[in-house]
Structure 1
Amino acid sequence: MEFKRDPRFGRMIPAMVTPFNADLELDLDRAQELADRLVRGGADALIVNGTTGESPTVFYPQKLELFRAVVRAVNGRIPVIANVGDNCTADTVYFAQDAAKQGVDGFMCVVPYYNKPPQEGLYRHFKTIADSTDMPIILYNIPGRCSINMEGDTTLRLAHNCDNVVAIKEASGNFEQIKYIIDNAPAGFDVYSGDDSSTLDIMELGGVGVISTIGNVAPDRMKAIVDLAAKGEWDAAREANEALMPLMKGLFETSNPILVKEALSLVGFPVGGVRLPLVDATPEQSARLASIMREVGVLD
């Protein structure tokens, strides 16, 4: 696989956790410190308030505060992408308009969850959002959380018909579908792995990189993997990937982002707990996570 161009938003994009204080209120100062830490660690762009950022429990006014704070901290060094996706098309359109005013560089929009629209509904949902803004949009397909899969033909229809639909975060686990999208997408449309552990497999199919959970904890390590792959140094990429794989999988032994927040605490960069209905890591989970982190060399 030969990569002939650099993707618009780069190859390693951490999906930032959302820091909270002891009262589980937004900790905007810590969010700015984390954003700076990730930029310095090698992130090519940042996704703010996605799944890993606990988007279901961060209300719209708080999301806008968070976007604004991260944009200020990043200060133009890399793109900041706001997750604005919702399962109501009209709400998404209105919220995207407010988010754009915070200075972000693009949007991510998830497949609508719970209401289970048919493929035509998915197409019209995303087409309506795309038509309402000039901002570049990353689609996000994650059937495990949304209960439906956006089929390859629907993704391609959007990619070909909407100039500002520029990428997809594919977390379907369906490699046949992912390859179909890659092979038939228009020039300039980027396919990202939605799972750290699938990144190399998807890049071998022609995907450009990853929107990453582990990138919060070990951004330099994940960045090295995707950059090696992009240069065609597959043996070195596979070796680096294998060395980090136990943690890629270990962070998902319970619901994300419980363990990625715990991992940041373990490395000395606490970002607070999680909001209900999520619950913090148990002592047993923390001990196992620490063992995995030592195994892969992320924790002394």
Structure 2
Amino acid sequence: MQSLIGTGVALVTPFNKDLSVDVDGLKRIVNFQIDNGIDYLVVLGTTAENATLTNDEKELVIKTVIDANKKRLPLVLGVGGNNTQKIIDELKTRDFSEFEAILSVSPYYNKPTQEGIYQHYKAISEASPLPIILYNVPGRTASNMLPSTVIRLANDFKNIVAIKEAAGDIVQAMTLIKNKPKDFLVISGDDMVTLPMILAGGSGVISVIAEGFPKEFSEMVHLGLNRKVDEAYKIHYLISDAIDMIFEQGNPAGIKEVFKHLGLAENTVRLPLVNVDENLSNRLKNYIDKLHKK
């Protein structure tokens, strides 16, 4: 899966002020990624506020991204949840012809055992027409998919090809990298530890910050993959303050504020999320202004 090496971005769903999906804004965001060096796009992940979209809105988002992308970058579709059968039903009925892989989050809220997580992904693997990227994000799911479970899945199912690892634990990531099958990809899901994970043997990132600063972050990732450590860390430290800021008051409220300042889309989010406060908005604007003067 060479197409999943490098910088992927978890696309937001921009909304108009009346809370409807902003189709034109989404097209601008997609083109902004493509024009600035991003390697692939992830549609309908957590950052897309997927949980608040209707089925019709999800279809609109998918169609808009496909139309805007024009086959220029590989696309990954988020197909996950805590109802295994519902995921299987979608895998059997959806047209995946425009997509390279699916990203499927470990079940949230239910808090399954490691065996439950294994059986969940086993069922998805047997139903999926596409390669599968596992997604471990304990901060949202309330359960950690342990390296032993990931390695078991990677060894048992050929179409489970990668993991987006977002436990925020570099030691856990290194354990995965050390023990994984040769061609299995360990992809960072945590922007702040992306570079250390790459230098430890990771394959890149599915990022939020890269969506707002695609040129800088993708350059850092590619420098890291090419073992140009000093140059990569120079960019890491340039952008680290922005990573802290965009997550300070919730995702995607922070990155949507960046898009507002860049003139790409409104900062509108849907409840239960709310906009960032004025103080953070001003700090983000000041950061953007300084970065673009360099």
The verdict on a shared fold, with TM-score over 0.5 as the criterion, is yes
State the partner residue of 2:134: 139
Q: How big is the alpha-carbon RMSD for the aligned residues of Structure 1 and Structure 2?
A: 1.7
- 1:273 is aligned to 268
Q: CA distance change for structure 1 residues 216 and 224 in 2, over 3 Å: closer, same or farther?
A: same
Matched with 2:245 is 250
Select 2:216's aligned residue among 211, 215, 221: 221
Pairs within 5 Å for 1:5-84: 7-84=2-79
The Cα of 1:272 is off from its aligned counterpart by: 4.4
Q: TM-score, normalised by structure 2?
A: 0.95
The answer for the alignment partner of 2:283 in structure 1 is: 288
SS at match of 1:251: helix
Q: Within 5 Å, which residues of 2 pair with 1:172-251?
A: 172-251=167-246
What residue number does 1:165 align with?
160
- Kept in 2, the 8 Å contact 1:45–1:79? The answer is yes
Deviation per residue, 1:182-205 (Å, 9 max, x gap): 112112211111111101111121
Per-residue deviation, 1:73: 1.4
Identity over aligned pairs, percent: 36
How do 1:89-168 and structure 2 match up within 5 A? Answer: 89-101=84-96, 103-168=98-163
Distance 2:25 2:93 in 1: 23
Question: Residue 208 of structure 1 aligns to which amino acid in structure 2?
Answer: S
TM-score by length of 1: 0.93
Q: Which residue of 1 aligns with 2:80?
A: 85
User: Does the Cα contact within 8 Å between 2:81 and 2:104 map onto a contact in 1?
Assistant: yes
Following superposition, the deviation at residue 98 of structure 1 comes to: 4.1
Counterpart-to-counterpart distance in 2, 1:158 and 1:8: 21
What's the secondary structure of 1:281's corresponding residue? coil
Distance in 2 of aligned mates of 1:261 and 1:127: 35
SS in 2 for 1:252: helix
How far apart, in 2, do the equivalents of 1:125 and 1:214 lie? 30
The AA in structure 2 aligned to 1:57 is: T
Judge which range, 237-246 or 263-272, deviates more. 263-272
**CA–CA distance in structure 2, aligned partners of residues 34 and 195 of structure 1:** 21
- Unaligned residue ranges in structure 1 (runs of 5+): 1-5
The Cα shift of 1:59 comes to 2.5
Provide Cα deviations, 1:136-160, integer angstroms capped at 9, x if missing partner. 1111100011111000011111111
Distance 2:72 2:235 in 1: 27
Does the CA-based 8 Å contact 2:3-2:39 persist in structure 1? no
Contact 2:209/2:217 (<8 A) preserved: yes
Give the Cα separation in 2 of the matches to 1:96 and 1:113.
19
Equivalenced residue count is 294
Contact 2:44/2:77, CA 8 A, preserved across alignment: yes
Residue 187 and residue 134 in structure 1: after superposition, are their counterparts in 2 closer, same or farther (change >3 A)?
farther
**CA-CA distance at 1:250 after TM superposition:** 1.1
**Distance change in 2, residues 1:240/1:75 (3 Å):** same
Q: CA separation in 1, counterparts of 2:267 and 2:168? A: 31
How much has 1:28 moved relative to structure 2? 2.3
Cα shift readout 1:241-267 (whole Å, capped 9, x = no counterpart) = 111111011111111110100111011
SS for the counterpart of 1:191 is strand
Q: Give yes or no for contact 2:91–2:129 (8 Å, CA) kept in 1.
A: no
8 Å CA contact 1:68–1:103 kept in 2: the answer is no
Q: Select the structure that is richer in helix.
A: 2
Preserved contact between residue 154 and residue 181 of structure 2 (Cα < 8 Å): yes
Do the aligned partners of 2:102 and 2:133 also contact (CA within 8 Å) in 1?
Answer: yes
Gaps of 5+ in 2: none
Task: Name the SS for the 1:107 alignment partner.
Answer: strand
State which drifts further: 230-239 or 57-66: 57-66
User: Shift in Å at residue 102 of structure 1?
Assistant: 6.2
